[in-house]
């Protein structure tokens, strides 16, 4: 490896206020050296890398929990970028489910009025809703109904007048008339 392709000089201001020129190495070079060197620290590094690779292979993703808890090294755009990546994944899931329904509709024995077809489309629709925004159709309806009920309840509470309040109002009106 050529030094100029794997090392970058960066100026860092230390706690004492002085600037220091520091070598920053490319990740590929760090990994290559970590697997070639034979020391206690290199063994720790290899265990760490293997743990990360194992987690990524099994789950398909890896998180640096400690860094996220501390909040260091996170830019303002970090979570926006993560949300955008999740949205892209969900959009591709939606396209996948859409293709399944298209294939189903082209089947020779396709009958749009059969109960099996209706259950199938309802199931796929729930999966598409969940892929796009994380809720099934029933959950969306429930959330909407609860929101509308709460709005209606607030209006009803404002308009509600108890029998006692009506009686007091009636007495006040009679008092004004006299």
Interval 119-170: pLDDT, tens:
888 888 888 778 777 888 888 889 889 888 888 888 888 888 888 888 998 9
Is the pLDDT higher at 52 or at 104?
52
Q: How far apart are CA 92 and CA 111, in angstroms?
A: 27
| pLDDT at site 171 | 92
| pLDDT at site 87 | 79
Interval 55-114: pLDDT, tens:
888 888 888 777 777 776 677 788 888 888 877 877 777 777 778 777 777 777 778 788
Q: How far apart are CA 71 and CA 64, in angstroms?
A: 11
CA distances, 156 to each of 62, 132, 149, 165 (Å): 50, 35, 10, 15
| pLDDT at site 45 | 86
Q: And the tokens for 38? A: 């034979």
Q: And the tokens for 145? A: 């109904």
pTM for this model (two decimals): 0.37
| CA proximity to 124, closest of 145, 140, 104 | 104
**Residue 13, strand partner residues:** 19
Angle between helical axes of 40-59 and 27-36 (0-180°, round to 10): 120
| pLDDT at site 72 | 67
| pLDDT at site 173 | 92
Residue 1, pLDDT > 70, answer no
| pLDDT at site 53 | 86
pLDDT-based confidence at residue 4 (cuts at 50, 70, 90): confident
- Domain ranges across the chain: 7-62
| pLDDT at site 172 | 92
């Amino acid at each position: 490896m050529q030094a100029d392709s794997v090392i970058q000089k960066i100026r860092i201001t230390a706690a004492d206020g002085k600037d220091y020129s520091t070598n920053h190495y490319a990740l590929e070079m760090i990994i290559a050296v970590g697997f070639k060197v034979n020391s206690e620290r290199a063994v720790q590094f290899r265990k760490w890398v293997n743990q990360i690779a194992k987690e990524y292979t099994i789950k398909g993703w890896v998180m640096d929990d400690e860094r996220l808890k501390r909040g260091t090294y996170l830019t303002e755009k970090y979570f926006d970028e993560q949300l955008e990546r999740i949205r892209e994944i969900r959009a591709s899931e939606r396209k996948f489910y859409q293709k399944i329904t298209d294939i189903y509709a082209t089947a020779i024995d396709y009958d749009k009025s059969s109960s099996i077809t209706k259950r199938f489309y309802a199931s796929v629709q729930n999966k598409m809703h969940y892929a796009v925004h994380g809720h099934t159709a029933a959950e969306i309806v429930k959330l909407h109904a609860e929101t509308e009920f709460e709005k209606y309840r607030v209006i009803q509470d404002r308009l509600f007048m108890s029998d006692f309040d009506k009686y007091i109002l009636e007495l006040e009106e009679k008092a004004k008339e006299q």
